Amino acid sequence: MNKSYLNFRTDMADERVDVYKKVHNLTEIEGVIVKSSDTNNIKMTTVEVTNENGEKALGKQMGTYITFESQDMQYFTEEQKQAMISQIGQQIKLLVQGDKKSVMVVGLGNEYVTPDSLGPKVVKFLDITRHLLKFAKEYVDSNTTREVSAISPGVLGTTGIETAEIIESVVNKVKPEVIIAIDSLVSQSIDRVGKSIQIGNRGIVPGAGVRNKRDGINEENLHIPVIAIGVPTVVDMATITNEAIDKMLENSKKEIEEFSNKNIDNNNTSVIFNLLNEDNRYNMIANTLNTENYIVTPKEVDQIIDKVSEIIASSINTMVSV
């Protein structure tokens, strides 16, 4: 396996940490700090990329990436949902760094393609205040209300305009102090789809996870801080097949170790397993099944999008009052 470069098939920072550690047989990555906690059945993992070595290892810019995960997210009680909203809202406030900063929320994606409709759906649930602060001041307290605006710029295929170009034009006119960009993500595992929410402070590159990179929506291009919030809604088909074979091989290795006998040539068995290492195996699957352009999503993806978009919007709404 080429360990100098890993072709990550996930947007999730914590998954990239796990993959890199596994491939290099490491317990820690120089330049990457990982912290985890578990409260109310919600796991929070913070990945801090602190130097260039960490950037090269994970393919992520120096910054903070926070993931909230719960296997029960689709079936949250109202109490569990409010606990998640409170935790995410608190982290968003910390990343915004300032009670008086005006915020523009950008709902990325295509509202007509369900797995890619997270951004536009979140925008519909937001408490928008910019117009009230400008044109209906008698109805709001400008001392305690943050300015919040939002746009859903659509996608290049329907607008003919790069999303980053639309955002830049609006930013130059509206002049927000912070952008919060919402987008659907790609996961390494089907078990994470619709069950994780990632927040990062280094912006986002739309389409990167499905090999359709667009211009980056980040501070380098827009000259203001960009907070990215995303949820994994898809996994590519070859990754699912790869994951299934990985689990099968792990089980087979255990069985061989436990029930080996004189009729089994352990050396030959080891050669076969090494041939099917993760890097080679993925390429073999992708080439054999021609799965590169197939992206898989759960059948209940519409319910997933509705649930997580409400949670994310409500989390952002917690910062409207300052």
For residues 111 and 117, is the Cβ–Cβ distance under 8 A?
yes
Where is pLDDT greater, at 43 or 212? 43
Helix (H, G, I), strand (E, B), or coil: what is residue 70?
coil
Q: 161 and 55 in one domain?
A: yes
Over residues 225-236, the pLDDT tens digits come to 999 999 999 988
Do 26 and 123 share a structural domain?
yes
Instruction: Tell me which residue of 20, 71, 14 sits closest to 304, measured CA to CA.
Output: 71
pLDDT at 7 over 50: yes
Regarding predicted confidence, which is higher, 15 or 214?
Answer: 15
Question: Which residues is 235 bridged to in the sheet?
Answer: 296
Residues 179 and 193 in one domain: yes
Based on the domain organization, do 220 and 252 belong to the same domain?
Answer: no
Buried b (16+ CB within 10 A) or exposed e, 209-218: bbeeebbbbb
Q: What's the average model confidence in pLDDT over 133-150? A: 93
Q: Is residue 280 part of a domain?
A: yes
- Same domain for 171 and 34? yes
In a domain, 227, yes or no: yes
Structural tokens at position 219: 């501070």
| pLDDT band (50, 70, 90) for residue 1 | very low
Domain span holding position 197: 13-238+295-317
> How would you classify the pairing of strands 226-236 and 196-200?
antiparallel
Residue 99 DSSP one-character state:
T
| Phi-psi sector, 193: left (phi>0), alpha (psi -120 to 50), beta | beta
In sequence order, what are the residues at sequence separation of 6 or more whose Cβ sits closer than 8 angstroms to the Cβ of residue 131?
none
Q: Are residues 309 and 253 in the same domain?
A: no
Q: Based on the domain organization, do 174 and 285 belong to the same domain?
A: no
CA distance 307 to 79: 14
Instruction: Indicate if the pLDDT at residue 254 is higher than 90.
Output: no
Contact indicator for 239, 279 with CB cutoff of 8 Å:
no
My answer on whether 260 and 207 are in the same domain is no
**Residue 77: is its pLDDT beyond 60?**
yes
Cα separation of 275 and 1, whole Å? 10
Encoded amino acid at 113, one letter: V
261 versus 178: the higher-pLDDT residue is 178
Q: Quick check: 243 pLDDT over 80?
A: no
Lowest mean pLDDT among 165-169, 185-189, 200-204: 185-189
**Residue 6 in domain:** no
Query: Does 39 have pLDDT greater than 90?
Result: no
Q: How many domains does the chain have?
A: 2
Contacts for 134 with CB less than 8 Å, ≥ 6 apart: none
- Judgement on whether residues 145 and 109 belong to the same structural domain of the protein: yes
- pLDDT per position as a tens digit, 268-282: 555 555 555 555 556
What CATH number does residue 198 fall under?
Answer: 3.40.50.1450
Examine residue 1 and state whether it is found in any structural domain, yes or no.
no
In a shared domain, residues 262 and 152: no
Q: Are residues 72 and 168 in the same domain?
A: yes
Question: Could you tell me the pTM of the whole model?
Answer: 0.83
Answer yes or no: is 258 within a domain: yes
Same domain, 185 and 262: no
